[in-house]
Amino acid sequence: MTLETLLQVAAGGLLMGLIYALVAAGLSLIFGLMDVVNFAHGELMMLAMYAVFVIWDATGLDPLWQLPVVAGLLFLTGMAIYRGLIARALSVPFNRGMVQIFVTFGLAIFIRGAAQFVWGGEFRAVNHTWLSDRSLNLGGVFLPLPQLAASAVCLAAFAGLLAISRTEFGRALEATREDRDAVALIGIDRDRIFAMGWGLGAGAVGIAGVMLAGFYYVGPNVGASFALIAYVTVALGGFGSMAGALVAGVLIGEVEAFTAVVLEPSLKQIGVFAVYLLVLMFRPRGLFGKL
């Protein structure tokens, strides 16, 4: 293998890894806040991608301009899901862990059915954007602009999440995470914090969906292929850890890319899964998880 090929594969893995990290960030945030794994996370991303397609189809507005709109829509969707379902799932007296798994799982199936009801089963794609089908050529190593933009937005989103954690709201978030019951005593509305957390988590995956729509097809089942990787990313990085999601995302992107080179491409996810299991043997709570 030439050096050029090696660099190209590494670059591809990095760009994809940052997208995995962005998809996983929202999942990790929600989990860290309230111990809930959202099994409808991929479906939220799918909704964001459809939103981009619908707006683009109707107005021709470039996905990049849609970023704030769609992220906002997803923020509201996330809050609504929390208020409508998750708050209830958290207040059940028994089997809380299992109820939340299957409530979000049922929601995922429902959203998939609803997407097919509204948009049909066709694959769709957003074309002719500013960035589409263009690449940066760095001495024979090609960096596709849509993915490059997605990576930049990913890093910006992580910086944004970091900035939020420094604000008063962020401190309230942190306090709620540390001790859910005590925060009520110091006048923090736990329910409101949780709803905001869901809004942020959904907004983050909404951003991922917008960027992805610039170079990936949209269909009712598109969430599923990303969701599995997202769960593995979060567990590998450590549930609730933002830094963990970022590092794990990139690691997974690279392992996937190089497994496809060394073994067969059809086995590339096995490489990812094997690395994940191996890490868990030594760090049962992931790379950055609190032991």
Partner 1 sequence: MDRRQFIIGAGMLAASTTAARAADEVVIGVVYPLTGNGAAVGLDAKAAYEVAAEIINGTHAPIGVAMGKGGGLDRLGGAKIKLVFADSQNDPQKARAEAERLITQEKAVAIVGSYTSATGATISQVTERYEVPYISADNSSPSLNQRGLKWFFRTGPHDEMFTKGMFDFLADVAKKTGKPAKSVALFYEDSIFGTDSSNVQRKLAAAAGITVAADIRYRASSPSLSTEAQKLKAANADVLLPSSYTSDAILILKAMNEIGYKPKAVLAQAAGFQESAFMQGAGALAEGVMSRSSFALDADKLRPAIPVVNGLYKAHNNKDMNDNTSREITALLTLADAINRAGSAKPDAIRAALVATDIPGSQTIMPWAGVKFDETGQNTLCNPVIQQVFDGVYKTVWPFDLAAKDVVWNVGG
Partner 2 sequence: MDNFILARRRRELMVAGALLVVAVVVPRFIADVTTLNVIILSLLFAGLAQAWNILGGYCGQISLGHALYFGIGAYVSTLLYVHAGLPPSAGIFLGGVVGGIAALLVGWPCFRLSGHYYAIATVVVGEIGYLLFLNWDYVGGATGVYIPIAKPSLLNLQFGKDKLPYLYLVLAFAAATWIAAWLIEGSRWGYAWRAVKDDVVAARSLGVNIFSSKMAAAAISGFFTGLGGAIYGLYVGYIDPDSVMAGHFSILIALPAVLGGVGTLWGPILGAALLIPVKELSSSYLGGSGRGVDLMLYGAMIVVVALAQPQGLVLLFRRRAHGPA
**What number of residues does the chain have?**
291
Q: Tell whether residue 135 is a contact of partner 1 (CB under 8 A).
A: yes
Q: How many CA atoms lie within 13 A of 226 on its CB side?
A: 33
Q: How many CA atoms lie within 13 A of 49 on its CB side?
A: 30
Residue placing its CB nearer to partner 2 in the complex, 95 or 167: 95
Contact characters 59-98, partner 1, x per CB under 8 A:
----------------------------------------
Q: Which listed option, partner 1, partner 2, none, makes contact with residue 25 (CB within 5 to 8 Å by class)?
A: none
Q: Is 125 helix (H, G, I), strand (E, B) or coil?
A: coil
Window contacting partner 1 (CB under 8 A); options: 16-24, 76-84, 183-191, 197-205? 16-24
Which amino acid is residue 291, in one-letter code?
L
Using CB under 8 A, pick the residue from 40, 229, 235, 275 that binds partner 1: 229
Q: How buried is residue 46: exposed, middle or buried, by Cβ count under 10 Å (0-12/13-18/19+)? A: buried
Residue placing its CB nearer to partner 1 in the complex, 107 or 254: 254
Quickly tell me which residue has 């983050």 as its tokens.
204
Angle at 149 between CA 144 and CA 155, to 5 degrees: 125
Window contacting partner 1 (CB under 8 A); options: 33-41, 86-94, 120-128, 193-201? 120-128
Contact characters 247-266, partner 1, x per CB under 8 A:
---------xxx-xx--xxx
What backbone torsions phi and psi does residue 141 show, to the nearest 5 degrees?
A: -100, 125
Residue placing its CB nearer to partner 1 in the complex, 55 or 86: 55
Nearest distance, CB of residue 149 and partner 1, angstroms: 13
Q: Which listed option, partner 1, partner 2, none, makes contact with residue 235 (CB within 5 to 8 Å by class)?
A: partner 2
Q: Is 119 helix (H, G, I), strand (E, B) or coil?
A: helix
Please spell the DSSP secondary structure of 173-230, one letter per residue. HHHHHH-TTHHHHTT--HHHHHHHHHHHHHHHHHHHHHHHHTTS-B-TTHHHHHHHHH
Reading phi first (left if > 0) and then psi (alpha if -120 to 50, else beta), residue 269 is in alpha
Q: Tell whether residue 276 is a contact of partner 1 (CB under 8 A).
A: no
Q: Which listed option, partner 1, partner 2, none, makes contact with residue 88 (CB within 5 to 8 Å by class)?
A: partner 2
Residue placing its CB nearer to partner 2 in the complex, 53 or 276: 276
Using CB under 8 A, pick the residue from 194, 215, 239, 288 that binds partner 1: 215
Using CB under 8 A, pick the residue from 54, 64, 221, 273 that binds partner 1: 221
Residue placing its CB nearer to partner 2 in the complex, 177 or 285: 285
Q: Tell whether residue 133 is a contact of partner 1 (CB under 8 A).
A: yes
Give the largest Cα separation in the chain, rounded: 62
User: 141 - beta bridge partners?
Assistant: 138
How far apart are the C-alpha atoms of 247 and 241, rounded to whole Å?
10
Positions that interact with partner 1 (CB under 8 A) = 1-2, 5, 8-9, 12-13, 15-16, 19-20, 113, 116, 120-125, 127-128, 133, 135, 137, 142, 144, 147, 215-217, 219-222, 224-226, 229, 256-258, 260-261, 264-269
